[in-house]
Amino acid sequence: MGQLGGKADLKVVKGDMGYILEDVPHFTDYLPDLPTYSNPLQDHPAYSVVTQYFVDVDDTVPQKIVVHKDSPRGVHFRRAGARQRVYFESDDVLACIVTCGGLCPGLNTVIREIVCGLSHMYGVNRILGIEGGYRGFYARNTMPLTPKFVNDIHKRGGTILGTSRGGHDTMKIVDNIEDRGINQVYIIGGDGTQRGASVIFEEIQRRGLKVAVVGIPKTIDNDIAVIDKSFGFDTAVEEAQRAINAAHVEAASIENGIGLVKLMGRYSGFIAMYATLASRDVDCCLIPESPFYLEGKGGLFEYIEKRLKENGHMVIVVAEGAGQDLIAESLRSMQHEDASGNKLLDDVGFWLSQKIKDHFTRKQMMVINLKYIDPTYMIRAIPSNASDNVYCTLLAHSAVHGAMAGYTGFTVGLVNGRHTYIPFHRMTETNKVVITDRMWARVLSSTNQPSFLCAKDIEEAKMVEQQPTQLLDEQKSLDNGCH
């Protein structure tokens, strides 16, 4: 297996039969001759009895598991887990944890399990919480975190550390890390946060510091492509059921009742799609990936009228990023951004409510009763459910094992059911609902809604699907020997 040259931040290894490892950085890449120590887990009363507890250094996990007889082995990621040798002595570790971006169920569980993992598995006692997101590194005090302090935080929503958008000043952050003597940095956040983590890692590497930078990807929208699923997503889908049930009860209790529920999903409609599929009470699901229109044949108004005539009531679920082009057209809305530079969206739920009410009032054909429910922040603020709690625990432990083993500049992630270490740059590939895929077809068949698509839209969607992804591009250039 040979190391390939290439882009400065890519560490790619190529093997036989089209095997590619998209590896993550390690201290030894820029700090040769570091001492190593035997992993204290070897003597741990709970873990020492586990057969093959340590991960083989050569274990990797394939990104694509559906293969043909002759297909190349494809891209792999380094398998997460405890290594036999570690690069830190327990007493020398000073770790810190920061949470950035929007809230998500499970943040406190990840914080708890990093603290308990470091302490119980590796005997690390010095752990700091950075308050209020990235700017907390240089603008706020830190809080000491102990297993006792974090004991029951997983039962609470939000993040005990606080969070923020904006305020990423790489130099000030790294100066602060260096001044405090921090040598493990755990960064929990979404795509913006992981971009921030990547530049922090680059600066740390440039300064030649022995500081592990580890990301734990957070997105309630489940919009990161490379991982199976993000923590908090299951909890969000489950909690969304309560809003959909309420909308259904309201709609079904009154003549021509329409229950409209807005769910999160800025660019990806996964929460709306899964909540719709799980509920079976939803008659129409609108997501950012699938354009729709209101007036005329095959439009939303026609469908609402038909459904009310058939059934007397209906439930509509709309993802917050759906129909933004329509709103922009009708409101000539200004484009605003939040402190991190994310586009601020217009409220599709409120806009759609008004449009539906106006339409039926104007037409005077039937009196409708529309109830609009926006549970978005109520969903985002709850604690994670049981399965997300276990998932968060494994992500946190993978992060701790990776840092102790000397890996850095990576995020943890579940790929095909296995925990892995993934280079930062892969975190920015977005996961979207593919509207020409089976899952979206299942939604359409469960709701009976029109697809709102003309032949041209379908062609365009297929073209997007067929376009080479970054992965294929890279694979192609690797095959051409470009790296």
Ligand X SMILES: Nc1ncnc2c1ncn2[C@@H]1O[C@H](COP(=O)(O)OP(=O)(O)OP(=O)(O)O)[C@@H](O)[C@H]1O
Ligand Y SMILES: O=P(O)(O)OC[C@H]1O[C@](O)(CO)[C@@H](O)[C@@H]1O
Please report how close the Cβ of residue 189 comes to ligand X at its closest, in angstroms: 4
Q: Is 473 in the site for ligand Y (CB under 6 A)?
A: no
Q: With respect to ligand Y, which residue has the nearer C-beta, 257 or 323?
A: 323
**205 φ, ψ (degrees, to nearest 5):** -65, -40
Q: Is 190 in the site for ligand Y (CB under 6 A)?
A: yes
Q: Is 320 in the site for ligand Y (CB under 6 A)?
A: yes
Dihedral (Cα; 356, 357, 360, 366), 10-degree rounding: 120
DSSP 2-55: EE---STT-EEEE-GGGEEEEE--BHHHHSTT---EE-GGGG-TTTTTSTT-SP
* DSSP H/E element including 231: none
**Beta carbons of 432 and 267 less than 8 angstroms apart:** yes
Query: Annotated catalytic residue: which of 23, 221, 223, 234?
Result: 221
Stretch that binds ligand X, among 108-116, 159-167, 294-302, 385-393 (CB under 6 A): 159-167
Binding mask 205-244 for ligand X (x = CB under 6 A): --------------x-------------------------
CA distances from 135 to 96, 100, 101, 164, 306 (A): 14, 9, 12, 8, 53
Contact residue for ligand Y among 97, 204, 264, 315 (CB under 6 A): 264
Stretch that binds ligand Y, among 195-203, 206-214, 262-270, 285-293 (CB under 6 A): 262-270
Binding mask 158-197 for Mg ion (x = CB under 5 A): --------------------------------xxx-----
Burial class (CB in 10 A: 0-12, 13-18, 19+), 424: buried
Ligand-binding annotation for 89, yes or no, is: no
**383 φ, ψ (degrees, to nearest 5):** -70, 160
Q: Is 221 a catalytic residue?
A: yes
Let me know how long the chain is. 483
Q: With respect to ligand X, which residue has the nearer C-beta, 82 or 427?
A: 427
Binding mask 149-178 for ligand Y (x = CB under 6 A): ------------------------------
User: What residues pair up with 20 in beta bridges, in sequence order?
Assistant: 14, 75
CA distances from 44 to 91, 151, 322, 338 (A): 17, 21, 51, 47
Alpha helices in 143-289 (DSSP H): 170-180, 191-206, 233-252, 270-279
Please report how close the Cβ of residue 200 comes to Mg ion at its closest, in angstroms: 17
Please report how close the Cβ of residue 192 comes to Mg ion at its closest, in angstroms: 5
Binding mask 205-224 for ligand Y (x = CB under 6 A): --------------xxx---
Structure tokens at 90: 């327990």
Ligand-binding annotation for 266, yes or no, is: yes
Measured distance CA(70)–CA(388) in Å, rounded: 37
Find which of ligand Y, Mg ion, ligand X, none residue 264 binds, CB within 5 to 8 Å per kind: ligand Y
Residues at the site binding Mg ion, with contacts judged by CB under 5 A? 190-192
Binding residues: 102, 165-166, 190-193, 219-221, 264-266, 320, 377-380
Task: Give the residue numbers annotated as catalytic, written as ranges.
Answer: 221
Which residues of this chain interact with ligand Y, rule CB under 6 A? 102, 190, 219-221, 264-266, 320, 338
Residues annotated in the binding site for substrate, as ranges? 219-221, 264-266, 320, 377-380
